[in-house]
């Protein structure tokens, strides 16, 4: 269900936002906390300031803030603890499988400072802690030699356990199962490519910083939604272009070449991901085939594209239509289609240099 603000709420939200010197986007779909944080010298947003925005958009909270101490409630059923692995057990009704490959992938990238808290229920029958989320993490902690794991433990009320521990187990399994589905299917928001990229830039990931520098040097910028010239929002193709390696196994060269070409040839357009990675692949394959990519080569290709397809968007769409016409039942992806399209455009309109043989054959404008 999506919230729509009425006129009164919109006016109230505008009043709250007006107190900030640095403007930022705030609506029921998205609060841009990166921009919001620029209003604070420390860069840290006080908790209460987000509350003010939420209360305007969602209405008053269902309970008065700071009125309940859950740890003081004898019927409160969740606690955060470090528990030994000897106190763990498995209830197959709430943890139906074990994937060794998943454990292996965690092991390959294990970092003791980057672990998730395990979610579990305490079985009223045996007293064992039974995970319903984070089982694979717990297995890897055990393999890493840890004697304990951090666990958020769900418990049944004591009076329910005393009446019938098996009934209490059934109750907890239902709650745990609903929690698992809520976490993994209903409420978990996947991390979008833009957020992954900007977070990596923020904490200094070398590859993300390198990409960000290439974008800046070519008057381009990463955006959640591309609208303006130089904006790019297709992150799988951005990373794919960056990860292509030259003869010395260095990355970044072909992203820089492709982006430079894109901005020079279509300076008033956003950066279309399929066109970008098609260019990066094209330059990469040309160099592997010992094709000299000099300024004349680049200029000739750019002029041919501006005459035949005019815009980057039309280039991608034109190549795809040409491929589908030639191969009605073909299944090649956009990345390969566009890469081959550049070969055909160069051969048709320039042809000064012999290129490599493309994987797909079709007629271009």
**Would you state the pLDDT for residue 124?**
94
How far is 168 from 91, CA to CA, in rounded Å?
14
88: DSSP letter: B
183: DSSP letter: I
**Would you state the pLDDT for residue 74?**
67
Pairing label, strands 129-133, 148-154: unpaired
Residue for token pair 């990931």: 205
**Would you state the pLDDT for residue 180?**
73
Question: What are the residue ranges spanned by the domains of the chain?
Answer: 7-58, 70-186, 194-349
Q: Calculate the alpha carbon distances from 363 to 309, 310, 321, 342, 343 in Å.
A: 13, 17, 10, 11, 11
Distance of CA 350 to the CA centre of its chain: 40
**Would you state the pLDDT for residue 186?**
56
Q: Where are the alpha helices (DSSP H) in the chain?
A: 7-18, 33-36, 47-58, 100-108, 135-143, 158-163, 165-181, 193-202, 206-217, 235-243, 253-265, 273-288, 295-308, 312-326, 334-349
How far is 75 from 157, CA to CA, in rounded Å?
6
Q: What is the DSSP string of 244-269?
A: ---TTS--SHHHHHHHHHHHHHSTTS
The answer to whether 167 touches 124, Cβ cutoff 8 Å, is no
Q: Which residue from 270, 204, 215 is spatially nearest to 242, judged by alpha carbons?
A: 215
How far is 124 from 162, CA to CA, in rounded Å?
9
For the stretch 267-287, pLDDT in tens is 999 999 999 999 999 999 999
How far is 50 from 56, CA to CA, in rounded Å?
10
Q: Look at the domain 70-186 and name its fold.
A: 3.90.1530
**Would you state the pLDDT for residue 190?**
58
Q: Calculate the alpha carbon distances from 67 to 61, 62, 63, 64, 268 in Å.
A: 12, 11, 8, 6, 55
pTM for this structure? 0.59
How far is 106 from 99, CA to CA, in rounded Å?
11
Q: What is the DSSP string of 267-323?
A: TTS---HHHHHHHHHHHHHHHHTT----HHHHHHHHHHHHHHT-SHHHHHHHHHHHH
The answer to whether 201 touches 209, Cβ cutoff 8 Å, is yes
**Would you state the pLDDT for residue 64?**
87
Q: Which of the residues in the chain have pLDDT under 50?
A: none
Six token digits for residue 57: 């958009």
For the stretch 19-45, pLDDT in tens is 999 999 999 888 998 899 999 999 899
Q: Calculate the alpha carbon distances from 33 to 225, 240, 318 in Å.
A: 17, 28, 39
How far is 332 from 336, CA to CA, in rounded Å?
7
How far is 183 from 190, CA to CA, in rounded Å?
11
Burial class (CB in 10 A: 0-12, 13-18, 19+), 293: middle
């Amino acid at each position: 269900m999506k919230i729509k603000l009425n006129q009164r709420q919109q006016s109230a939200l505008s009043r709250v936002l007006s107190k900030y010197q640095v403007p930022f986007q705030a609506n029921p779909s998205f609060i841009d906390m990166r921009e919001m944080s620029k209003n604070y010298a420390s860069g840290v947003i006080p908790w209460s300031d987000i509350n003010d925005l939420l209360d305007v958009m969602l209405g008053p909270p269902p309970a008065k803030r700071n009125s309940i101490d859950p740890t003081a409630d004898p019927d409160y059923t969740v606690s955060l603890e470090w528990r030994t692995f000897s106190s763990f057990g498995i209830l197959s009704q709430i943890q139906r499988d074990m994937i060794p490959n998943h454990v292996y992938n965690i092991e390959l990238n294990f970092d003791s400072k980057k672990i998730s808290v395990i979610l579990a229920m305490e079985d009223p029958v045996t007293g064992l802690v039974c995970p319903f989320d984070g089982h694979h993490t717990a297995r890897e902690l055990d393999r890493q030699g840890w004697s304990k794991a951090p666990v958020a433990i769900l418990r049944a009320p004591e009076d329910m356990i005393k009446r019938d521990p098996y009934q209490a187990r059934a109750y907890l399994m239902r709650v745990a199962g609903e929690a698992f589905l809520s976490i993994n299917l209903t409420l978990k928001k996947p991390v979008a490519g833009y957020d992954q990229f900007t977070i990596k830039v923020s904490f200094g990931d070398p590859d993300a910083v390198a990409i960000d520098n290439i974008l800046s040097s070519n008057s381009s910028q990463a955006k959640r939604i591309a609208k303006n010239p130089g904006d790019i929002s297709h992150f799988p193709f951005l990373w794919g272009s960056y990860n292509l390696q030259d003869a010395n196994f260095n990355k970044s060269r072909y992203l820089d070449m492709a982006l430079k070409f894109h901005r020079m040839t279509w300076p008033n357009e956003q950066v279309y991901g399929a066109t970008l990675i098609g260019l990066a692949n094209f330059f990469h394959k040309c160099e592997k085939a010992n094709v000299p990519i000099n300024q004349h080569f680049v200029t000739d290709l750019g002029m041919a594209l501006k005459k035949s397809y005019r815009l980057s968007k039309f280039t991608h769409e034109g190549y795809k239509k040409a491929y589908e016409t030639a191969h009605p039942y073909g299944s090649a992806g956009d990345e390969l289609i566009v890469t081959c399209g550049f070969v055909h455009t160069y051969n048709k309109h320039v042809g000064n240099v012999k290129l490599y043989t493309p994987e797909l054959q079709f007629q271009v404008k």
